[in-house]
Amino acid sequence: MYTDLNRPPLVVDALRRALVRGTAGGDPDAFYSSLDVVAETGSTNADMLARAVDSALDRAVLISEFQDHGRGRHARSWVAPPRSAVSVSVLLRMPGIDPADLGWLPLLAGVAVVDALRSVAEVDAVLKWPNDVLIGGNKVAGILAEVAATAPIPSVVLGIGLNVSLTESELPVPTATSLALAGAATTDRDTVVRALLRALAAEWSKWNRNGWDTTALAESYRERCATIGQRVRAELPGGGELLGTASGIDAQGRIVISPDDGREPVAVSAGDITHLRPQE
């Protein structure tokens, strides 16, 4: 059993009182219907996708203290020491949304994570397109959305992985960071989880009230996206590469890049984006 006192377990009962409606002594108007914390699993997203076959399940939260097969974009692995990170997945049913707009959900989650970290951790978090969360140019959080169903109700499992107390030697890559390394005002995971899930609920509810219109969401995303205005390299599906300046985010959530060679701007919907230094 993992017993590092500097990395205490999450306090499940307190999280449920704060976030789950119907919990004794909690908020009767809370957004989430359930919240479970497990000591270890392969992937919270995979587990929640399996649970999604229950059509009655909605707004459900699953958190793991340790994942040994966590997944990121492009099937990349994501692993952190036990209790050093937040590994959370949320099942969201989205009645009435055009399935073509589901791609905005991970971008919305990016907005929520940035706002939560700016608020409680007091760090200068920003977004790198599409949904990496950076502090000081290094990645502190990633987001993965996986469609559970497109009919009869579009449903998505949204996963968030956030590095909280990782030391420099524990980072998966040199371009990563953690809240602790970034000098955050708090590394208390209970505080961070509450802030993340409340921010996500607020952004999702706002979008729902707007009838899934993406206009306001797109503006919120652009305000937090540090990729806009940067010179970038886009590694495209199939092995192509595009060098240019990111000039904006279009109505479909794609990054718009003005190529260095003067060609017309290109809207990129998938690929890895690297922020380039002036000399690159």
The pLDDT tens digits for 39-71 are 999 999 999 999 999 999 999 999 999 998 555
Q: What is the pLDDT of residue 179?
A: 98
Q: What is the pLDDT of residue 77?
A: 61
**Which residue stretches of the chain have pLDDT < 70?**
1-5, 69-78, 279-280
Q: What is the pLDDT of residue 3?
A: 39
Q: pTM, whole model, 2 decimals? A: 0.94
Q: What is the pLDDT of residue 24?
A: 94
Cα distances from 98 to residues 25, 105, 206, 216, 258, in angstroms, run: 37, 12, 16, 17, 29
Q: What is the pLDDT of residue 2?
A: 36
Tell me which H or E stretch contains 113: helix 104-116
Q: What is the pLDDT of residue 6?
A: 81
Distance, in Å, from the CA atom of 153 to the CA atom of 143, rounded to the nearest integer, reads 22
Compute the 3-state secondary structure of the chain and give helix, strand, coil in percent, each to the nearest 5: 25, 30, 45
Q: What is the pLDDT of residue 69?
A: 58
Distance, in Å, from the CA atom of 113 to the CA atom of 94, rounded to the nearest integer, reads 20
